[in-house]
Structure 1
């Protein structure tokens, strides 16, 4: 634990507050085009062009994703970018037959996982207050925290990918047990879901499925 204190802490807080004021004065909201790109008109994709994704773009994708908020800054998500033919063959063992082609055709498939031992990193991630005692010997709380926050990070990952001009197609039609055995045996990592990323072949798209209106699923209290 090496958290700043005193005048150093005051200066860091003041800078963080001013940085946020500057950001909001510079950008009041995203443009409608930007919102369309990341969510409103975005689509899940199942077919892909052969345009590759440079490793540098994957690194940029991670740098954006990691800034999304998580409980106590736990950051439990771990990402495996499966891109080699050997890696794809290993991953294919876990997939339902109808999903194999979707995965094999994508330039990269990310395994979105979470580390059950995430809390060991809290002295670095949350240095101002030692919260490790909340997780030590409490596997149910570890699982709940890792799964919830790792899933959040997976959603940030998808939005960040779209913001960078990539297309995504998340998949849950696979065996987590096989993925964990193939990629995470002997570790504290568990898979959550898969996400194909690349540049889509739009000819595989069908019409967008319905969404609920506000009044059906929202309420005020």
Structure 2
């Protein structure tokens, strides 16, 4: 794989519309296989994914999205990733990080769980988008959705809660907006 920084960052845009090009399950598996290697605190790996590809699943997700643009994006995208966070991620720590008993730290102090789950699943969601771009897919991350409705429709009976939603596929060039500005180094950074 010959991936450039342009493909990952400077030339990539948030997708707002998609071509009707399907994304094979093999690509989704490859996407996860790349994503899983990104670092998280204590290798906690709390991200859980549901790849919405069927018309039936899409019909359940669209009403959970904010009316208008987000509903249209999810309705059109070949794949929508529901990026979840397992609130019982620490149960896997004895296997994922056997060097230290971090499981006990979360069991003894459950108030630590929400921040750790959100922080680390968000990191993994970022890796997911970079891996998708590396594989030639475009991404449309979004936060406009009813989390309780998504949780009820897709994670019911589990310890997983929705973090964010991200459409995946080949962007329709007609729906790609010009690059918006970013903060400069001086505005966003300090070197101490």
Q: TM-score, normalised by structure 1?
A: 0.83
Q: What is residue 211 of structure 1 aligned with on the other side?
A: 182
Cα distance, 1:122 vs structure 2: 1.0
Alignment of 1:29-44 (within 5 A): 34-44=4-14
Given candidates 128, 131, 137, the residue that maps to 1:160 is 131
Alignment of 1:98-177 (within 5 A): 98=68, 99-177=70-148
What is the RMSD of the two structures over their aligned residues, measured on CA atoms?
A: 1.2
Q: What is residue 149 of structure 2 aligned with on the other side?
A: 178
Q: Residue 190 of structure 1 aligns to a residue in which SS?
A: strand
Q: Residue 168 of structure 2 aligns to a residue in which SS?
A: strand
- Unaligned stretches of 5+ residues in structure 2: none
Q: What is residue 19 of structure 1 aligned with on the other side?
A: none
Q: Residue 135 of structure 1 aligns to a residue in which SS?
A: helix
Task: Tell me the distance in 1 between the aligned counterparts of 2:52 and 2:5.
Answer: 28
Q: Residue 136 of structure 1 aligns to a residue in which SS?
A: helix
Task: Tell me the distance in 2 between the aligned counterparts of 1:139 and 1:174.
Answer: 27
- Unaligned stretches of 5+ residues in structure 1: 1-30
Q: Check conservation: 2:19, 2:172, Cα contact below 8 A.
A: yes
Alignment of 1:32-71 (within 5 A): 34-71=4-41
Cα distance, 1:128 vs structure 2: 2.0
Off by >2 Å, runs of 4+ in structure 1: none
Per-residue Cα deviation, 1:155-194 (whole angstroms, up to 9, x for no partner)? 0000000001011111111111110111111210000000
Larger radius of gyration: 1
Task: Tell me the distance in 2 between the aligned counterparts of 1:82 and 1:173.
Answer: 17
Given candidates 193, 196, 199, the residue that maps to 2:167 is 196
Given candidates 74, 95, 98, the residue that maps to 2:44 is 74
